[in-house]
Amino acid sequence: MDRRSFLAAAAATFVLPAPATTSSRTLARDPFTLGIASGDPSTDGFVLWTRLALDPLGANGRGAMPSRDVEVDWQLSTDERFGKILRSGTATARWKDAHSVHVELDGLEPGREYFYRFRAEGRLSPTGRTRTAPSGATQPLAFAVAACAHYEHGFYTAYRRLAEQEPDLVLFLGDYLYEYGPSGYTALAGRVRTHTPGKCATLADYRLRHAQYKSDADLQRAHAVAPWLVSFDDHELENNWAGPVSSTGAPAFAHRRASAFRAYYENMPLRRASLQGAVLRVNRRVTWGTLARFHLLDTRQFRDDQACLDGVRAGCDERLSERRTLLGGDQWRWLSEGLRASTTQWNLLGQQILMMQRDYKRGPGREVNLDAWDGYAAERHRLLELMSTTSNPVVLTGDAHMHHAASLKLDFDDPDSPVIAPELVASSIASDGDGYRDKVWIEEGLAENPHISYIDQRRGYIMARLNSTELSAEFRTLEYISRRGAPAKTTHRVTVPVSAP
Ligand SMILES: [Fe+2]
């Protein structure tokens, strides 16, 4: 495939002559202002997504769409010019679903690239590229890891650079959007754009915020280039919520949570099976031939409330309690059974919050983040014990708004404790703005935490390449996002050789 022609095509709405539509209705403008996406590849299919909006910021989160259902045709081809249509069909973008469409395909060939597009009432969408997972022995896998994309804090150049690298797969590990109203979270001096009004609380609020984020061309480009495996953390609903508990004690939290979950599903390339009543199930597995299995975790929805009133603090014995759970009983059983049964060479755990021990206090004493695994230390220990019998485990993480490379150990305070797995933490796409490189702060952080080998406070993502002999992860870093156009540079590389079974 010609890289430039595909990216050019993905960036612009096609102006091909549209075949005659079965409906005499027409939409006044292009309804594909929120882009297209695909996700959750299996060996024979994936989910295709779009959501129609004539104006992303239209009132009540409804994108200025007419108050009726709209028929949406879809097409699949192995050729980006759609010379031969492999599959096609029609889905209904329902008013009640904010005109979102999820098409789940099966019966396709494993390990292949496909192209897709939609058409609604004579209007054609951009083209997306996606792929099925391979079966058996497979080519090397290139995947990107990204998290945390506060819209106000900077432009999405990191998404654009990620798209230009054309990964096979994108893992998104939480904070796809932020719920705060304008300047509601760390009022940076250089805010580049403004959230929709108010803190998100209702279904209409969350729909509108998703539409605002999805209207970004760089984000659309990243979705169009590869299937995504998405999972949420806290800000898709509310800062530092925990299971049924609001961190702010806001009233009617269950209703708000349901609204946030519904809007999240409507706006993401998730399979219908992820909707399970009041639960939005995002812990799931994707297998990439005999090479790798991704175990996507949910460290937010089933957790116990944070110990000692949350925060970064010292001296909290409660965080060490054997009874505390981060994953919840069902997910723990699902994960432990999945790790034990896995026969792939690599096992990649995609999850939201720092798994490593992380001391934030300079000098003697220790301060840890009670929202991260440090607040659930006994369960972390059990998980690391389990991972010590797992084939080539690797932990992939978001949340920190800084790149980190670290070694996970059963005893972080013992230099002789064996390394169980690497933890690779992707910095943020945009959250916290340009960032900086505070050498003194980093040196102190590394000195306090000898199991950490790299910290970088600038924006970026991870691009990893995996084959049967090694994992090679590049930390991709941008100097600025307050202006457009920053290049992404590889500022650190981690190579993990495969270990014999
Ligand atoms: Fe974040």
Predicted confidence at residue 28, as pLDDT, reads: 85
Ligand 1 center–CA 351 separation, angstroms = 13
Ligand 1 center–CA 428 separation, angstroms = 7
Ligand 1 center–CA 58 separation, angstroms = 26
68 backbone φψ class: left, alpha, beta (φ>0; ψ -120 to 50): beta
Ligand 1 center–CA 353 separation, angstroms = 10
Ligand 1 center–CA 432 separation, angstroms = 9
Ligand 1 center–CA 190 separation, angstroms = 18
Ligand 1 center–CA 184 separation, angstroms = 14
Please check whether the two domains, 3-131 and 141-497, share a CATH topology. no
Ligand 1 center–CA 427 separation, angstroms = 9
**Which residues of the chain have a pLDDT value below 70?**
1-24, 187-190, 501
Predicted confidence at residue 190, as pLDDT, reads: 65
Ligand 1 center–CA 404 separation, angstroms = 14
Closest CA to 126 of 2, 15, 227, 226: 15
In angstroms, the CA 231 to CA 211 distance is 18
Tell me if the domain spanning 141-497 has CATH number 3.60.21.70.
yes
Ligand 1 center–CA 243 separation, angstroms = 18
Domain positions in the chain are: 3-131, 141-497
Ligand 1 center–CA 99 separation, angstroms = 28
Fold of 3-131: Immunoglobulin-like (2.60.40)
Predicted confidence at residue 186, as pLDDT, reads: 73
CB-based contact 145:173 (threshold 8 Å): yes
Ligand 1 center–CA 401 separation, angstroms = 6
Ligand 1 center–CA 34 separation, angstroms = 22
Predicted confidence at residue 151, as pLDDT, reads: 97
In angstroms, the CA 445 to CA 11 distance is 41
Number of alpha carbons in the 13 Å side-chain half-sphere of residue 292: 28
Predicted confidence at residue 188, as pLDDT, reads: 67
CB-based contact 372:389 (threshold 8 Å): no
Ligand 1 center–CA 234 separation, angstroms = 8
Predicted confidence at residue 415, as pLDDT, reads: 93
In angstroms, the CA 289 to CA 85 distance is 27
Ligand 1 center–CA 311 separation, angstroms = 15
In angstroms, the CA 486 to CA 266 distance is 32
